[in-house]
Amino acid sequence: MKIPTDFISLGLNQEEPLVMHIDLNSCFATIEQQCNRFLRGRPIATAAYLSPRGCITAPSIEAKQFGVKTGMMVMEGKEKCPDLIIVPQNPPVYRDVHIRFKKIFMSYTNRVKPKSIDEVVINFKGSQVIKHKTMEQIGYEIKHRVKTEIGEWVRVNVGIAPNMFLAKTAAGLHKPDGLDTITHENVRKVYQSMELTDLDGIAERNAARLNAAGIYSPIQFLEAPVDKLKREAFHSINGFYWYCRLRGWEVDDYFSPRRTIGHTYALGRQTNNMEELSKLLMKLCEKVGRRLRGNDLTAGGIHVACVYVDSGYWHKGMKVGVRLYTTQEIYRFAMQTLQDNGPHRVVRNLFITVYDLDKFDPEQLSLFDGSKQDKRALSKALDSINDRWGEMTIIPAMMLGMENTIIDRIAFGSVKDTLDLYADDTF
Amino acid sequence: MYEDIDEKIDVIALFGRKHRDAKPFRIKWKGREYDVQTVDYVYRRKIGDKIMYYFCVTDGANWFELQFDSNDLGWQIHRVWNENPYRLH
């Protein structure tokens, strides 16, 4: 996109704030506390595995006060807070809450954009509801409805602003139960109370870039000319985007189509045994294949990666020259990639991603090679059996006995479609 | 900690007309009856074509997750929460 030069003197966006950001605090842990009242008010954390090296996926608000953070190992969390209660993740209930959230928001407008399992952005531009209520009234009404329609322990932060960035910033001002509005009138005051790294999207690396350009606070960031941000801080178009974003102009409301489908597994029993790894790989391929076919897509490339126990990693991606659709097709190329360059050290995490996605286009039947069509038809038939009778009813023989090896999870990242939420469940 | 149970149980429940919902009132498990005092969350899960409903309930002292199979109208205790494992009040 060519940068229009007349944007160089862009002021603060003075439009009415009609973007609302809503997020659920400590999402998984809060939902667990809603479901089990004996956990309320106590430091708890959800984890994919309860073992000492299991990863904490969400500490409760009470656990955060002890310094327990997402991504810590269970044993690290216990060191910070000896009374920490670790509970297993329960993805079906988190999905159920997400759906109820969405139902509440959709009753106001259809411009509801889930950013992840626990974050939603609602754009009220053009909505009829703002003719009768102020944005703050709607915000408080949503908070009330969340308590009555989902559960009394569930509290959400609401942020209102002219663009998505400032709405998220507003939602973070008074956790865990805040409602704040940022407009052109108070944006400077808000920035004055923040550090650079408090801004969403400014972590250590971006902060270092800004520091190198002589910018040490959000106010200095706001006052920096666009040229300085482009040429001295970010050395890219990102400088311009930040210039707009900080002033309340929308640059983040775009649709990015799905480009990859992937799945990861953290090995409970770490190994470099190729036979064991090949079984895990088959299950990952089956999960990826189900999502690929569920989206009616094929893939032209595959990427396999391993993280080793003794640090370091290996990865390789390649275009395969054919369109991948069935689990067997994915597995064949994934295995080939792994074997050619294979892990020679003990593996801690295994990743598989397919890319170069395209809509499934049934190829014309060949007189000489009907087998590919047969396999694809067979895959569809197997998928429909699993849809009808539940996941893993029919599985490749290689996966026998592995039903609970790669457990159901919810990704932290963006939600492109409902299949992301239900990728590993059977809803 | 949570303990998986998955045992069939008897339940007295009210199926409401107005909100088209269900509320378990009393459960009988291992010869003992528990009166449900709070229903803190109800969620559903589709397993294949079957729809399972899960009720997170307490009797004031114990926490139970009950599973209702809408296909065969059967109730189970799915999980319990034991503050002190191996002991139920």
Report which of A412, A379, A12 is spatially closest to residue A189, judged by C-alpha positions.
Answer: A12
Q: And the tokens for A133?
A: 């209520």
Average confidence (pLDDT) over A201-219: 94
Asked which of A152-156, A174-178, A212-216, A266-270 is least confident by mean pLDDT, the reply is: A266-270
pLDDT tens digits for range B46-86: 887 888 999 999 999 999 999 999 889 999 999 999 876 54
Which residue type sits at A418?
Answer: T
User: In this predicted structure, what is the pLDDT of residue A3?
Assistant: 47
Query: Of A34, A87, A426, which is closest to B41 when you measure between CB atoms?
Result: A34
Alpha-helix runs per DSSP H in A342-396: 371-389
Q: Which long-range contacts (CB under 8 A, 24 or more apart) does A374-383 make?
A: A375/A326, A375/A328, A375/A329, A376/A325, A376/A326, A378/A326, A379/A289, A379/A293, A379/A325, A379/A326, A379/A327, A379/A328, A380/A293, A383/A290, A383/A293, A383/A294
Searching chain B, which residue's CA lies closest to the CA of residue A34? B40
Parallel, antiparallel, or unpaired for β A85-88 and A44-47?
parallel
Partners of B48 on chain A (C-beta within 8 Å) are: 386-391, 393, 426
Q: What's the Rg (C-alpha) of chain B?
A: 13
> What does the pLDDT read at residue A363?
58
Q: What is the pLDDT of residues B4-46, one digit of tens each?
A: 999 999 999 999 887 788 999 999 999 999 999 999 999 999 8
Cβ contact, residue pair A389, B81, below 8 Å: no
Distance from CA of B27 to the nearest CA of A (A): 18
pLDDT for the residue B38: 95
Cα B68 to Cα B48: distance, rounded to the nearest angstrom? 15
Give the residue among A262, A200, A199, A238 at the shortest CA–CA distance from A416.
A262
Contact call for residues A334 and A355 (beta carbons, < 8 A) = no
Which residue from B48, B56, B58 is facing A426, i.e. has the nearest CB?
B48
Partner residue facing B63 (CB), from A38, A388, A390: A38
What pLDDT score was predicted for residue A349?
A: 85
Q: What is the mean pLDDT of residues A287-308?
A: 90
DSSP 8-class letter at A71: T
**pLDDT for the residue A6:** 47
Q: Is the pLDDT of residue A323 over 60?
A: yes
pLDDT tops 70 at residue A4: no
pLDDT at B40: 96
Burial (CB < 10 A; 0-12, 13-18, 19+), residue A119, is buried
The model's pTM:
0.79
Spell out the residues 6+ positions from residue B13 whose beta carbon is closer than 8 angstroms to its own: B22, B23, B24, B25, B68, B75
| Half-sphere exposure for A252 (CA within 13 Å, toward CB) | 22
CA of B62, closest CA in chain A: separation in Å?
Answer: 9
pLDDT band at A379 (very low <50, low <70, confident <90, very high): confident
- Beta strand pairing call for B32-35 and A85-88: unpaired
Q: Is the pLDDT of residue A406 over 60?
A: no
Q: How far apart are CA A121 and CA A101, in angstroms?
A: 12
Contact A37 B58 (CB under 8 A): yes
What is the share, in percent, of chain A residues with pLDDT greater than 90?
55
